Structures are given as C-alpha cells and as structure tokens.
Structure 1
C-alpha cells in the first residue's frame, strides 16, 4: 500500500504544471495579445528575483513589468519594440538570455573557459598521479639509509608490530 502511495505521489508530480504569477486582472481579453504578452514575460528577468522570469515572479516590480508589457502591446507595439523599450530602460540585464555582444562576451565565454581550464587541471593532476609510484609519498622519492634504520628500530620496539 505504501509503495502505491509513493508511486501515485510521484505520478502526480509529473503532471503538475508550473505556477505563474500572472493575476486574473492582468490577463488581456484578446487571447492572441495575451499569448504574446506571456511569451514576452517568459523572456524578461524579474529585477528583484533575478533568476525568475516576470511571468513566474510575484514581486511587485514583476507585476509592474507585466502590466507595462501588456500596455505596450495594447498600444500596438510589436514584440521587438516592447523588448527594445524595456532594454533601453533597464539594460540587457532585463533579458533572461542576454544577447552576444561586446558587453556580454565575458558572460558567454567565462563558463566555457572555466570548464576547459578545470578539465586541463584535472588531466594534469591525473597524469601526475599515474606517474607517481609508491615512493612518491616521500618528498625526495626514496628513504635515506638513516630513515630506513630509524623506522626498523621503531617497528622493533612497538609491541603491535610483533607477530
């Protein structure tokens, strides 16, 4: 019975839809305009939450931006004009997917460069480790005669090492 409950709970999770923060009073009466507004809202970053679209955020600023998008669409702006208006006002940061240009080049290149650099460091460490034999534990490679004599002396005195 317990397994059935868990299976049903997991199945229910698969069929859940993401919640959107769009309130009923924000929804436009024209379904095509509303669809355009929702599509644009999914591409715009909430300036408060920063990792959510304004469509998903319930922050007051996100609501203001959703209303602004809808106002611009009702005024007859194209999707591109709405996006241009918002980027002119808030900068590229308002876009969830910033464009590739000179100002955002580091943003696009840095993750790949870090991944590539990490792979190089990992490969170098693995090669160094493979080349190291059992003697590599000691800084100089092999023990000196004096060190070996001292270890043998200590082992003879220790009752735990006697058989």
Structure 2
C-alpha cells in the first residue's frame, strides 16, 4: 500500500521532465536553413527577400533574423528556389498565396486594403482642416 504514493510520484516526475524533451524537434534542420548559397549574387537576392518576409512563429522578426525552426525551413525554401533560378518576386507571391499577405513586410494594394492606405491621408486632411479652423479663430 505504501507503493501507491511512490508510483504516483514517479509518474508525475516522468511527466514533468518528459514533456519539455518531447517538445524539442527531432528532425535535422533544412539543408539551407543555416548555410549560405555558393553563388554570392544568389545569396544576396535570397538575403534581401528573407529580410522582407515575416517569421510566422516570432511575428516581430524577419525570417532572416529568427531562430525558429519554421523560419529556418522558410530560409531553406527561399534559398533552394533562388538556386533553382526562380525570381524573388515569384517566391514572394508563392509565399503570400500559401501563408497570406501577412507574411510579407511589403503589403500589396488591393481593394480590401484601400482603407488602410487611405486612412493616413484622410487623417492628415482632417487634422489640417481642424488646425485651419483653430488658427482662423485666433486671428479674429
């Protein structure tokens, strides 16, 4: 009967120490996740593109700066496609189709995003109109 608490304690200890180990990736990183392309021009294209793509895990970093496994996979994918001769804009378009426009730090102008592009201009015009009225009252 005294073995019950010891068994429970050992199961609990196994669960507490085993869960973090299970969260670690078991697969090796993608081939070009941390390795540059041999061609310096292609690597420069890849680097420029990677700096303009947002990490889907970190969200505040580009895939060039992120250490997340997903960012490593995306870096490798970008390098492999550029090595195969694909243009950076075609890769960006493919990634946007796959992950949505949020993945790009360079948003596109579409009918859905027109209010976002127009809002700063409209707010500036409203501010100038309000300031004009305020200055007119002071001069009288």
Normalising to structure 1: TM-score of the pair?
0.55
CA change 1:64–1:111 in 2 (3 A) is: farther
Given the alignment of the two structures, is residue 124 of structure 1 paired with residue 97 of structure 2, yes or no?
no
Given the alignment of the two structures, is residue 87 of structure 1 paired with residue 111 of structure 2, yes or no?
no
CA change 1:51–1:30 in 2 (3 A) is: same
DSSP-derived class of the 1:26 partner: coil
1:74 to 79, 83, 94: 83
Q: Which residue of 1 aligns with 2:12?
A: none
CA RMSD of aligned residues (A): 2.5
Q: Which residue of 1 aligns with 2:62?
A: 53
* Structure 2 residues not aligned, in runs of 5+: 1-31
**Superposition deviation, residue 51 in structure 1:** 4.8
CA change 1:103–1:24 in 2 (3 A) is: closer
Normalising to structure 2: TM-score of the pair?
0.63
CA change 1:112–1:128 in 2 (3 A) is: same
* Structure 1 residues not aligned, in runs of 5+: 1-22, 132-163
Count of residues in correspondence between the two structures:
109
- The separation in 2 between residues aligned to 1:24 and 1:63, in whole angstroms, is 4
Which consecutive segments of 4 or more residues in structure 1 shift more than 6 A?
Answer: none
Task: Work out which structure has the larger RCO, using CA pairs closer than 8 Å and 6 or more positions apart in sequence.
Answer: 2
Q: Which residue of 1 aligns with 2:48?
A: 39
**Superposition deviation, residue 60 in structure 1:** 3.8
Give the structure with higher Rg (CA): 1
Task: Report the more deviating stretch, 94-103 or 119-128.
Answer: 119-128
**Superposition deviation, residue 82 in structure 1:** 0.9
